[in-house]
Amino acid sequence: MRAFLAGLAVIGAMSAVALPRAAHAECSEAAAPGVSWRRCRFDGIDLRGVDLTGADLRESSLTRADLSGSTLSRADLQRARLVSARLHDVALDGANLTRADLTSADLRNAKLNGAQLRQARFFRANLRGADLTGAITDGIDLLHADLSGATWTDGRTICAEGSTGRCHPAAPAPAVAAPQG
C-alpha cells in the first residue's frame, strides 16, 4: 500500500511539472492592450468598455461574454469561441477573426474595418449597422445573420432592411426636388 501511495505522489508531482505555468499565468493577467490570453476560458465574463487592442485571444473561449463598447482593434481572435457574446459597439478594426465562431453573437454597430473574417462563423449573428469596410470575408458563414443597415466590404453598399444571410443593397433614396419659388 505504501508503494502504491508513493507512486501516486510521484505521478501527481510529474503532472504538476508537466503543466506549463505560463499558460495559467497568462489567463490571470489583467485586461490591457496587448494582453496574451491564448487558449483561456472566459465564458460569461464582463469586459464592457475594456481596451484589448492587439490582444492575443487565439483559441480562447468567450461564450456569452459581454465585450460591448470594448476595443479589440488588431486583436488576434483566430479560432476563438464568441458564441452568444455581446459585442455591440465594439471596435474590431484590423482584428483577425479567422475561423472564429460568433454564432448568435450580438455585433450591432460593430466596427470590423479591415478585419480578417476568413471562414468565420456568424450563424444567426446580429450585424445590424456593423461596418465591414475592407473586411476579408472569404468562406464566411453568414447563414441567418442579420445584416440590415450594415456597411458592406466595399465601404459604399448599405445592406437593406431584412438582409439575412447576405447583403442586399438598399434602394437609393429618392431624389428630393428643390423647392420652387
Note down pLDDT in tens along the chain; length 181 residues.
555 444 434 334 333 333 233 344 589 999 999 999 999 999 999 999 999 999 999 999 999 999 999 999 999 999 999 999 999 999 999 999 999 999 999 999 999 999 999 999 999 999 999 999 999 999 999 999 999 999 999 999 999 999 999 999 988 766 666 666 5
* SS3 state at 10: helix
For residue 63, give the C-alpha cell. 461564450
Residue 21 confidence (pLDDT):
31
Q: Which long-range contacts (CB under 8 A, 24 or more apart) does 49-55 make?
A: none
Distance CA 66, CA 82 (A): 10
Residue 125's identity, in one-letter code, is A
Phi, psi of 7 (to 5 degrees): -60, -40
Residue 16 confidence (pLDDT):
37
Residue 172 confidence (pLDDT):
76
Degrees to nearest 5, angle at CA 180 with 177 and 181: 165
CB 81 within 8 A of CB 99: no
Residue 22 confidence (pLDDT):
36
Q: Tell if the pTM clears 0.85, that is, is over it.
A: no
Q: Which of 85, 91, 112, 99 is nearest to 138 (CA)?
A: 99
Q: What domains sit in the chain, N to C, each tagged with a CATH number?
A: 22-169 (2.160.20.80)
Residue 117 confidence (pLDDT):
98
For residue 56, give the C-alpha cell. 492575443
Distance CA 131, CA 113 (A): 6
Residue 8 confidence (pLDDT):
38
* SS3 state at 15: helix
Residue 175 confidence (pLDDT):
66
